[in-house]
Amino acid sequence: MVTARAAATFDPDGRSAAAARGFVRDALLGWGLPEVVDDAVVLVSELVTNAVVHAGTAAEVCCLREEETVRIEVTDHHPERGLPFLSDGHRYADPDGEGGRGLLMCSALAERWGVEYAAGQKTVWFRLALPAHVVGTRYAVPATPGSDLPSSPGPVHVAVVQLDEDGRVLAWNRDAEALFQYPTAAVLGRPWADLAAWPQSPGRGLGLTDTLRLARWEGGYGIRRADGEEVEVYGVQVRVRDTEGVPSTLCLLVLEPDRAVLRSPARALPGERPDPAGPRLDLLAGPVATDDLDTLLQRTVERARDLLDADAAYLLLTTDDETEFEVRAVTGLNTGHRRHARFPVGTGNRYDSARLPSVHEDLATRPTGLPLLTDSGMRSLVTVPLKVEGRLIGSLGIATAVPGRYDNEDALRLQFAADRVALAVESTRLTELERLRRGSLSFLVEASDLLAGTLEHEQTLALMAQMAVPTLSSWCAVYTNGDHGSSAGLAFVLHEDEDRIDPLRELLDKTPAPEAGPTHGVRFWAAPAETAETRGLTDSPELAGLLGETVVLPLTARNRVIGLLALGVPAGVRFRQEILELAEDLSRRAALALDNSRLYSERTATSQALQRSLLPPDLPEIPGVEVDVYYQAAGEGNEVGGDFYDLFTIREGTYGFAIGDVCGTGPEAASVTGLARHSLRLLAREGLDAPQVLRRLNAAILDEGSRSRFLTLLYGELTPRPDGSTELSLVCAGHPLPLRLRTDGRVDRAATPQPLLGVMDDLDLTAEHLVLAPGEVLLCVTDGVTERREGRRMLGDDGLAEVLTGCTGLTAGAVAMRVQRAVERFAPEPPSDDMAILTLRVPNQRQS
């Protein structure tokens, strides 16, 4: 049965995967299901990416909350992607390939999944199981030996009494009425302390209030009956919670002779009488979430401190290789040691064995080597190991400022409590590691998405640092290798506290850059701390506590180290192994993104330099003629366009001008562009007229063979005349025709079309002559202007002529800008083709 539903549709673009992840995360958190968020986000990210990137359609995401599961559906409208295939010896296709990766991840993470096809669409769905909610506590114990069965003259009464959080009676069954002679109405709401005769032994055991808060306790004590007589009973107390999370204590009571009914065989041997004054310690009492390791550990040390009347307590967990202890919880110690600091396993134990309980009677006489207790004022110390199946997983210690406070009996009691808590700690730690693993996978998916979203070099550097801080470290520095094998240089610095970025950068500028080293792996780097100490900067307020453990990771892409990633944490903190492993994964992804951005930047710079080389550096000043040029290359600037223009001196008083468009883009088009521009200058200065110049250029283009490209070209020669007019000789070889603006606003074509260049061997070209009178304008453009489109509309020659009609009286520069604005405003999208505009205007005599 579906109890909640959330759905959204995402457009087919690169931002949809991130938007879908955010939608699913918000929906599940809003339903109070954080346990399944990481798995759901990873699967939805892959499936939406398949839909919008590979299939190229919109993706519909639907989240359905059911009674015991969450079902998520991702639908696209182009069902062409197949299921993973079965092949000889392989269950699935290549897991590193793109095809079917989302389905492979569904099979790994989801409880159930499937694919449904319908007309024009495909739906991939998966189910994630919700964690079971267990109410109360269940126990199972071995059968009681026959010799311990109760011997009773009559029926055995088992009184059931339920107490609220304040120790008042909530429930009282009929057996309780029979045993203690109180009717139910007389005891409901009464404090349990009024009825229970609890043994009072100063300095030993727990009081009644503390015992009621234990997760489980059993032992003997007395109950005052209604007639005033005190009867001895044996009881079992269990701490439970109702469906709303409200705690209470359930007490099961029998008369002392019937104790075998309730007694746990593991706790008492035949003939043994439980000692009510000395109940064993229970460190798991209280409402602690079993999936929250930090809370569990902190509650454990606090209860250990309180139950043994200590001043301080700490809990250490071993690293994966069991060679070091890591500080995970501390109470009562103000020595400045931070969580996750590490010490060798043998540190602090006089017998050099952390696998045995140990009692330190006076630390002043025989101090421990544990840095955690240095200058803490503690005198007595008890340490016990935490073991699971014989494997050391941690160490629990309690300490007090009084010497000789603890003995072997205290150590054994603490060891019993540690044995009970060890399994819960290990189970919760494994749950935390699994949650971190899945969180790491989600983090890497997000990082890959962000890094793939840009090719800008500086932005990639910033993203690398922002992904690392503060998730992996408190500060980050990125070093990039220079050209020709030069040493790495500091490229970017980030600290979680913005006020510390500048002091950190100054320190790193003074520190020699780390060596490149191997192409993989983490290396520790002590140079920043050494530089600070050498220069006397360790006590400066800006660097106080800044430098703790620092590591360096190589940025390796395409089997080459292109830079280094330095990560640092504050003083007293050490990197956890899982953080270092995650940092390695991030560095590999970041290195590839950084190398891609570098290659893209180099290609863009090369293309722009080549583009500039194909255009004239300066335009000559022509007496009596205004000249203005507007040029704009389309795209992202990483390809050389085919449009070009030129204006040059042929001989004194005569000038050549050209505007052309080579078919295509890239190196081949650039080679023809360069050939055309330089050939025009050379041939025109040899004294050839316009048709001869173009015929020679046509032959040169055809000589290029397979590298040749056809070329449209408007070439002309202009000569200013003494009367203020300008004489023009034009050849328009397949190019958009030039337009002439007269002083009265009329616009007409200034030439007729002739064959383009680079196609036929023999061209019959003719020069056309005209004279521009003062105030008239000649407009020359490439097809990026006339073929500007919006849907099915195109600007065309007529639209350009209409724009030019309104330019009467404007200067050459104003005409070019008016045309450029008209082209940009014709459609909301940016122009997709190169655009060149060349305007020639003969000014009126009074203007000149």
Cβ 509 vs Cβ 492: under 8 Å: no
Mean pLDDT value of segment 581-590: 89
> Please, is 786 exposed, middle or buried when counting C-beta atoms within 10 Å of its C-beta (0-12, 13-18, 19+)?
middle
Cα–Cα dist 505/531, whole Å:
13
Cα–Cα dist 332/311, whole Å:
6
Q: What percent of the chain has pLDDT over 70?
A: 85
Instruction: Please list, in sequence order, all residues whose beta carbon lies within 8 angstroms of the beta carbon of residue 621, skipping any fewer than 6 positions away.
Output: none
pLDDT at 93 over 90: no
Degrees to nearest 5, angle at CA 452 with 447 and 458: 90
Degrees to nearest 5, angle at CA 482 with 477 and 486: 110
| The pair of three-digit structure tokens given for residue 556, joined into one six-digit string | 């390796």
What single string gives the DSSP state of each residue in 373-385?
A: GTTS---EEEEEE
| pLDDT score at 282 | 58
| Top mean-pLDDT range of 61-75, 262-276, 429-443, 528-542 | 61-75
Give the number of other CB atoms < 10 A from CB of residue 754.
21
Lowest mean pLDDT among 118-122, 135-139, 212-216: 135-139
Q: Among 827, 814, 748, which Cα is nearest to 787's?
A: 827
Degrees to nearest 5, angle at CA 63 with 57 and 69: 135
**Residue 636 banded pLDDT, cuts 50, 70, 90:** low
Q: Which residue has the higher pLDDT, 347 or 502?
A: 502
> Please, is 388 exposed, middle or buried when counting C-beta atoms within 10 Å of its C-beta (0-12, 13-18, 19+)?
middle
pLDDT at 81 over 60: no
| The pair of three-digit structure tokens given for residue 75, joined into one six-digit string | 């639908």
Q: Among 206, 232, 207, which Cα is nearest to 221's?
A: 232
**Residue type at 535 in one-letter notation:** R
For the segment 752-786, what is each residue's pLDDT rounded down to a tens digit?
999 999 888 888 999 999 999 999 999 999 998 99
**Residue 484 banded pLDDT, cuts 50, 70, 90:** low
**Residue 86 banded pLDDT, cuts 50, 70, 90:** very low
Cα–Cα dist 486/563, whole Å:
11
**Residue type at 570 in one-letter notation:** P
**Residue 623 banded pLDDT, cuts 50, 70, 90:** very high
Instruction: Output the CA torsion sign for 697, 700, 705, 708.
Output: negative
pLDDT at 287 over 50: no
Q: Among 195, 199, 197, 202, which Cα is nearest to 172's?
A: 195
Cβ 638 vs Cβ 607: under 8 Å: yes
pLDDT at 720 over 90: yes
Cβ 41 vs Cβ 63: under 8 Å: no
For the segment 345-400, what is each residue's pLDDT rounded down to a tens digit?
765 444 345 677 888 888 888 777 677 787 788 889 999 999 887 788 899 999 99
pLDDT at 61 over 90: yes
What single string gives the DSSP state of each residue in 598-645?
A: HHHHHHHHHHHHHHHHTS-S-PPPBTTBEEEEEEE--TTS-S--SEEE
Residue 470 preceded by cis peptide, ω within 30: yes
Lowest mean pLDDT among 23-37, 158-172, 254-268, 504-518: 254-268
Cα–Cα dist 348/353, whole Å:
9
pLDDT at 203 over 60: no
Cα–Cα dist 178/182, whole Å:
8
Cα–Cα dist 759/698, whole Å:
8
Cα–Cα dist 348/368, whole Å:
5
Using DSSP bridges, classify how beta strands 247-255 and 312-318 pair: parallel, antiparallel or unpaired: unpaired
Task: Give me the chain's average pLDDT, please.
Answer: 82
| The pair of three-digit structure tokens given for residue 342, joined into one six-digit string | 């590490």
Give kind and range of the element (H or E) at residue 595. Answer: helix 577-613
Length of the chain: 848
| pLDDT score at 846 | 59
| pLDDT score at 83 | 39
E strand segments, 626-738: 626-632, 643-651, 654-662, 711-720, 726-733
Cβ 163 vs Cβ 148: under 8 Å: no
Cβ 306 vs Cβ 299: under 8 Å: no
Q: Look-up: residue for tokens 């064959």? A: 755
Q: Which residue has the higher pLDDT, 842 or 351?
A: 842
Instruction: Output the CA torsion sign for 662, 667, 668, 672.
Output: positive
| pLDDT score at 813 | 93
Lowest mean pLDDT among 84-93, 202-211, 394-403, 532-541: 84-93
| The pair of three-digit structure tokens given for residue 364, joined into one six-digit string | 């002043």
Cα–Cα dist 266/277, whole Å:
19
Q: Which residue has the higher pLDDT, 79 or 62?
A: 62
Q: Among 94, 61, 56, 88, which Cα is nearest to 75's?
A: 61
Q: Which residue has the higher pLDDT, 288 or 654?
A: 654
Q: Among 170, 417, 388, 217, which Cα is nearest to 307's?
A: 417
Directed axis angle between helix 408-452 and helix 577-613, to 10°? 20
Mean pLDDT value of segment 74-98: 49
Cα–Cα dist 143/472, whole Å:
52
Q: Which residue has the higher pLDDT, 579 or 613?
A: 579
Region of residue 838 (left: phi > 0; alpha: psi -120 to 50; beta: else): beta
Cα–Cα dist 525/515, whole Å:
10
| pLDDT score at 683 | 94
| pLDDT score at 340 | 65
pLDDT at 669 over 80: no
What single string gives the DSSP state of each residue in 48-78?
A: HHIIIIII-S-EEEEEEEESSEEEEEEEES-
**Residue 142 banded pLDDT, cuts 50, 70, 90:** very low
| pLDDT score at 171 | 93
pLDDT at 334 over 80: no
pLDDT at 638 over 60: no
**Residue 151 banded pLDDT, cuts 50, 70, 90:** low
Cα–Cα dist 482/487, whole Å:
6
Q: Look-up: residue for tokens 């949809």? A: 16
| pLDDT score at 546 | 83
pLDDT at 528 over 80: yes
pLDDT at 272 over 50: no
Give the number of other CB atoms < 10 A from CB of residue 216.
15
Degrees to nearest 5, angle at CA 383 with 211 and 346: 155
**Residue 270 banded pLDDT, cuts 50, 70, 90:** very low
| 199: helix, strand or coil | coil
Cβ 230 vs Cβ 224: under 8 Å: yes
E strand segments, 321-429: 324-331, 342-344, 358-360, 380-388, 391-400
Region of residue 401 (left: phi > 0; alpha: psi -120 to 50; beta: else): alpha
Q: How far is CA 802 from CA 773, 786, 796, 821, 840, in A?
A: 21, 12, 10, 14, 18
| pLDDT score at 332 | 83
Instruction: Please list, in sequence order, all residues whose beta carbon lies within 8 angstroms of the beta carbon of residue 652, skipping any fewer than 6 positions away.
Output: none
pLDDT at 532 over 60: yes
Lowest mean pLDDT among 161-170, 212-221, 594-603: 212-221
| Top mean-pLDDT range of 359-368, 635-644, 659-668, 677-686 | 677-686
Cα–Cα dist 779/741, whole Å:
8
Q: What percent of the chain has pLDDT over 90?
A: 30
Mean pLDDT value of segment 632-659: 81
Give the number of other CB atoms < 10 A from CB of residue 69.
16
Cα–Cα dist 705/91, whole Å:
52
pLDDT at 88 over 60: no
E strand segments, 272-423: 312-318, 324-331, 342-344, 358-360, 380-388, 391-400
pLDDT at 677 over 80: yes
Using DSSP bridges, classify how beta strands 739-741 and 747-749 pair: parallel, antiparallel or unpaired: antiparallel
| pLDDT score at 552 | 92
Mean pLDDT value of segment 666-674: 78
Please count the helices (runs of H) and the strands (runs of E) in the chain.
Answer: 17, 34
Cα–Cα dist 821/795, whole Å:
13
Chain center to CA of 572 = 26
